[in-house]
Amino acid sequence: MPRPKLTQQIDLQSAIKETALRQIGEKGAASLSLRAIARDLHITAPAIYNHYPSRDDLVTSLIVDAYYSLGDWQFAAIEGQPDDDHVNQLTALGLAYRDWAVTYPQRYLLIFGSPIPDYHCPPERSLPAAARSLSALVHVLAEAHRTGALQLEEKPHLPEALRLQLAAWQAIHPNADVYVLYLALVIWSRVHGLVMLEIDNQYPPFIQDPGLIFRHEVEIMARQYLK
Protein backbone atom coordinates (compact mmCIF):
# COMPACT_ATOMS: atom_id res chain seq x y z
CA MET A 1 0.00 0.00 0.00
CA PRO A 2 1.47 3.38 -0.94
CA ARG A 3 2.17 5.78 1.87
CA PRO A 4 -0.35 8.60 2.28
CA LYS A 5 0.88 11.92 0.96
CA LEU A 6 0.85 15.21 2.81
CA THR A 7 -1.55 17.60 1.17
CA GLN A 8 -0.12 20.58 -0.64
CA GLN A 9 -1.69 22.85 1.96
CA ILE A 10 0.67 21.56 4.63
CA ASP A 11 4.05 23.23 4.89
CA LEU A 12 6.35 20.22 4.85
CA GLN A 13 9.32 22.14 6.19
CA SER A 14 7.32 23.31 9.21
CA ALA A 15 5.92 19.80 9.72
CA ILE A 16 9.46 18.39 9.74
CA LYS A 17 10.55 20.91 12.37
CA GLU A 18 7.49 20.35 14.55
CA THR A 19 7.99 16.60 14.42
CA ALA A 20 11.68 16.99 15.22
CA LEU A 21 10.90 19.13 18.27
CA ARG A 22 8.37 16.58 19.46
CA GLN A 23 10.96 13.80 19.12
CA ILE A 24 13.49 15.91 21.00
CA GLY A 25 10.99 16.36 23.80
CA GLU A 26 10.27 12.64 23.97
CA LYS A 27 13.73 11.13 23.44
CA GLY A 28 16.29 13.94 23.59
CA ALA A 29 18.14 15.78 20.85
CA ALA A 30 20.82 13.10 20.53
CA SER A 31 18.27 10.58 19.24
CA LEU A 32 16.95 12.83 16.46
CA SER A 33 16.65 10.87 13.20
CA LEU A 34 15.53 12.06 9.77
CA ARG A 35 14.24 8.59 8.93
CA ALA A 36 12.21 8.49 12.13
CA ILE A 37 10.73 11.87 11.25
CA ALA A 38 9.86 10.58 7.78
CA ARG A 39 8.09 7.59 9.32
CA ASP A 40 6.08 9.83 11.65
CA LEU A 41 5.04 12.05 8.74
CA HIS A 42 4.34 9.06 6.44
CA ILE A 43 6.66 10.35 3.76
CA THR A 44 9.80 8.98 2.15
CA ALA A 45 13.23 9.90 3.48
CA PRO A 46 14.24 11.69 0.23
CA ALA A 47 11.34 14.10 0.77
CA ILE A 48 13.09 15.28 3.94
CA TYR A 49 16.53 15.33 2.33
CA ASN A 50 15.23 17.85 -0.21
CA HIS A 51 14.83 20.29 2.70
CA TYR A 52 17.53 19.09 5.09
CA PRO A 53 20.34 17.03 3.53
CA SER A 54 21.48 15.82 6.95
CA ARG A 55 20.45 15.66 10.58
CA ASP A 56 22.95 18.42 11.35
CA ASP A 57 21.31 20.74 8.83
CA LEU A 58 17.98 20.22 10.55
CA VAL A 59 19.45 20.73 14.03
CA THR A 60 21.16 23.95 12.92
CA SER A 61 17.90 25.26 11.52
CA LEU A 62 16.08 24.43 14.76
CA ILE A 63 18.77 26.14 16.84
CA VAL A 64 18.72 29.30 14.73
CA ASP A 65 14.90 29.39 14.88
CA ALA A 66 14.97 28.97 18.66
CA TYR A 67 17.45 31.78 19.23
CA TYR A 68 15.48 34.19 17.06
CA SER A 69 12.20 33.17 18.68
CA LEU A 70 13.65 33.85 22.13
CA GLY A 71 14.98 37.21 20.96
CA ASP A 72 11.65 38.22 19.45
CA TRP A 73 9.86 37.19 22.65
CA GLN A 74 12.23 39.41 24.65
CA PHE A 75 11.74 42.49 22.49
CA ALA A 76 7.98 42.00 22.59
CA ALA A 77 8.13 42.11 26.40
CA ILE A 78 9.49 45.67 26.45
CA GLU A 79 7.58 47.01 23.47
CA GLY A 80 5.47 49.99 24.46
CA GLN A 81 7.09 50.43 27.87
CA PRO A 82 8.41 53.88 28.80
CA ASP A 83 12.01 54.28 27.63
CA ASP A 84 13.14 55.56 31.02
CA ASP A 85 11.54 52.79 33.10
CA HIS A 86 14.62 50.57 33.07
CA VAL A 87 13.72 48.64 36.24
CA ASN A 88 10.40 47.46 34.82
CA GLN A 89 12.00 46.75 31.46
CA LEU A 90 14.62 44.48 33.01
CA THR A 91 11.97 42.77 35.13
CA ALA A 92 9.80 42.21 32.05
CA LEU A 93 12.75 40.76 30.15
CA GLY A 94 13.49 38.28 32.92
CA LEU A 95 9.89 37.16 33.19
CA ALA A 96 9.60 36.86 29.40
CA TYR A 97 12.76 34.75 29.31
CA ARG A 98 11.25 32.24 31.72
CA ASP A 99 7.86 32.33 29.97
CA TRP A 100 9.50 31.41 26.67
CA ALA A 101 11.51 28.61 28.26
CA VAL A 102 8.56 26.96 30.01
CA THR A 103 6.42 27.40 26.89
CA TYR A 104 9.06 25.85 24.61
CA PRO A 105 11.20 23.61 26.84
CA GLN A 106 12.40 21.47 23.91
CA ARG A 107 13.73 24.55 22.14
CA TYR A 108 15.32 25.85 25.32
CA LEU A 109 17.14 22.60 25.98
CA LEU A 110 18.18 22.39 22.35
CA ILE A 111 20.15 25.64 22.58
CA PHE A 112 21.19 25.56 26.24
CA GLY A 113 21.08 21.90 27.25
CA SER A 114 23.60 19.09 26.84
CA PRO A 115 25.59 19.19 23.57
CA ILE A 116 24.53 16.78 20.86
CA PRO A 117 27.29 14.21 20.25
CA ASP A 118 29.28 14.81 17.02
CA TYR A 119 27.32 17.96 16.23
CA HIS A 120 28.87 21.42 15.84
CA CYS A 121 26.72 24.39 14.96
CA PRO A 122 28.38 26.53 12.25
CA PRO A 123 29.45 29.82 13.91
CA GLU A 124 28.34 31.87 10.92
CA ARG A 125 24.80 30.57 11.54
CA SER A 126 24.71 30.43 15.33
CA LEU A 127 26.50 33.61 16.42
CA PRO A 128 24.12 36.18 14.87
CA ALA A 129 21.12 34.22 16.15
CA ALA A 130 22.59 33.80 19.64
CA ALA A 131 23.40 37.51 19.76
CA ARG A 132 19.77 38.28 18.90
CA SER A 133 18.59 36.29 21.91
CA LEU A 134 20.44 38.69 24.26
CA SER A 135 20.05 41.88 22.24
CA ALA A 136 17.04 43.14 24.19
CA LEU A 137 18.92 42.77 27.47
CA VAL A 138 21.97 44.57 26.08
CA HIS A 139 19.72 47.30 24.71
CA VAL A 140 18.07 47.95 28.10
CA LEU A 141 21.38 48.00 29.96
CA ALA A 142 23.08 50.18 27.35
CA GLU A 143 20.25 52.72 27.48
CA ALA A 144 20.37 52.72 31.27
CA HIS A 145 24.12 53.29 31.10
CA ARG A 146 23.69 56.13 28.61
CA THR A 147 21.12 57.91 30.79
CA GLY A 148 22.95 57.33 34.07
CA ALA A 149 20.42 54.83 35.40
CA LEU A 150 22.89 51.95 35.61
CA GLN A 151 24.37 51.31 39.04
CA LEU A 152 28.06 51.97 38.38
CA GLU A 153 29.36 53.10 41.72
CA GLU A 154 32.32 50.80 41.32
CA LYS A 155 33.04 48.89 38.14
CA PRO A 156 34.55 45.43 38.69
CA HIS A 157 38.03 44.94 37.36
CA LEU A 158 37.86 42.92 34.16
CA PRO A 159 40.95 40.89 33.23
CA GLU A 160 42.42 41.91 29.89
CA ALA A 161 41.75 38.48 28.38
CA LEU A 162 38.07 38.81 29.31
CA ARG A 163 37.89 42.33 27.91
CA LEU A 164 39.26 41.07 24.60
CA GLN A 165 36.59 38.37 24.43
CA LEU A 166 33.86 40.87 25.24
CA ALA A 167 35.26 43.20 22.58
CA ALA A 168 34.37 40.59 19.97
CA TRP A 169 30.77 40.78 21.16
CA GLN A 170 31.02 44.57 21.19
CA ALA A 171 31.43 44.47 17.42
CA ILE A 172 27.74 43.49 17.29
CA HIS A 173 26.75 46.11 19.89
CA PRO A 174 29.09 49.06 19.23
CA ASN A 175 27.07 51.38 21.48
CA ALA A 176 27.43 49.09 24.51
CA ASP A 177 30.24 49.59 26.99
CA VAL A 178 32.33 46.50 27.71
CA TYR A 179 31.10 46.56 31.30
CA VAL A 180 27.49 46.61 30.02
CA LEU A 181 28.19 43.44 28.06
CA TYR A 182 29.82 41.84 31.09
CA LEU A 183 26.79 42.75 33.20
CA ALA A 184 24.47 41.29 30.55
CA LEU A 185 26.32 37.97 30.81
CA VAL A 186 26.13 38.02 34.61
CA ILE A 187 22.39 38.73 34.60
CA TRP A 188 21.77 36.12 31.92
CA SER A 189 23.73 33.49 33.85
CA ARG A 190 21.66 34.06 36.98
CA VAL A 191 18.38 33.90 35.07
CA HIS A 192 19.52 30.89 33.04
CA GLY A 193 20.51 28.96 36.16
CA LEU A 194 17.06 29.34 37.70
CA VAL A 195 15.33 28.39 34.46
CA MET A 196 17.48 25.28 33.97
CA LEU A 197 16.66 24.10 37.49
CA GLU A 198 12.98 24.40 36.67
CA ILE A 199 13.13 22.89 33.17
CA ASP A 200 15.18 19.94 34.42
CA ASN A 201 12.94 19.48 37.49
CA GLN A 202 15.90 19.92 39.82
CA TYR A 203 14.26 22.05 42.49
CA PRO A 204 13.69 20.27 45.82
CA PRO A 205 10.15 18.88 46.20
CA PHE A 206 9.07 21.50 48.73
CA ILE A 207 9.42 24.20 46.04
CA GLN A 208 6.04 23.84 44.38
CA ASP A 209 6.07 27.11 42.40
CA PRO A 210 9.49 27.95 40.94
CA GLY A 211 7.95 31.03 39.36
CA LEU A 212 7.81 32.70 42.79
CA ILE A 213 11.56 32.32 43.29
CA PHE A 214 12.22 33.45 39.76
CA ARG A 215 10.14 36.63 40.00
CA HIS A 216 11.68 37.48 43.38
CA GLU A 217 15.22 37.08 42.04
CA VAL A 218 14.51 39.09 38.88
CA GLU A 219 13.05 41.94 40.91
CA ILE A 220 16.12 41.91 43.16
CA MET A 221 18.44 42.07 40.14
CA ALA A 222 16.48 44.92 38.58
CA ARG A 223 16.81 47.01 41.74
CA GLN A 224 20.43 45.96 42.23
CA TYR A 225 21.67 47.05 38.81
CA LEU A 226 19.28 49.85 37.86
CA LYS A 227 17.87 53.01 39.41
pLDDT tens-digit profile of 204-217? 999 999 999 999 99
CATH code: domain of residue 43: 1.10.10
Residue 120 has pLDDT above 70, yes or no: yes
Residue 115 has pLDDT above 60, yes or no: yes
pLDDT over 70, % of the chain: 94
Q: Is 118 buried (19+), middle (13-18) or exposed (0-12) by CB count in 10 A?
A: exposed
Position with higher pLDDT, 50 vs 76: 76
Same domain, 118 and 209: yes
3-state secondary structure 112-149: HCCCCCCCCCCHHHHHHHHHHHHHHHHHHHHHHHHHCC
| Contact assessment for residue 130 and residue 67, using Cβ atoms and an 8 Å cutoff | yes
Same domain, 72 and 30: no
Average pLDDT taken over every residue of the chain? 90
Which tens digit of pLDDT belongs to each residue from 71-111?
999 999 999 899 899 999 999 999 999 999 999 999 999 99
Residue 222 has pLDDT above 60, yes or no: yes
Domain assignment of residue 155, given as a range: 55-225
Q: Considering its fold, how many domains does the chain have in total? A: 2
| DSSP secondary structure letter of residue 1 | -
Overall average pLDDT of the 151-167 stretch = 85
Overall average pLDDT of the 153-175 stretch = 87
List the Cα angle 38/58/72 in 5-degree steps.
125
What is residue 155's predicted lDDT score, i.e. its pLDDT?
Answer: 74
CA 90 to chain centre: 16
Residue 227 has pLDDT above 60, yes or no: yes
Q: Which of 53, 76, 91 is the last residue of a domain?
A: 53
| Contact assessment for residue 198 and residue 214, using Cβ atoms and an 8 Å cutoff | yes
Residue 25 has pLDDT above 90, yes or no: no
Confidence of residue 5 (pLDDT cuts 50, 70, 90): low
Overall average pLDDT of the 214-224 stretch = 96
Same domain, 43 and 131: no
Q: Which of 214, 86, 94, 96 is closest to 151 using CA atoms?
A: 86
**Residue 164, CA distances (Å) to 18, 28, 168, 169, 178 in order:** 39, 36, 7, 9, 9
User: What is the distance between the alpha carbons of residues 225 and 167, in angstroms, rounded to a whole number?
Assistant: 22
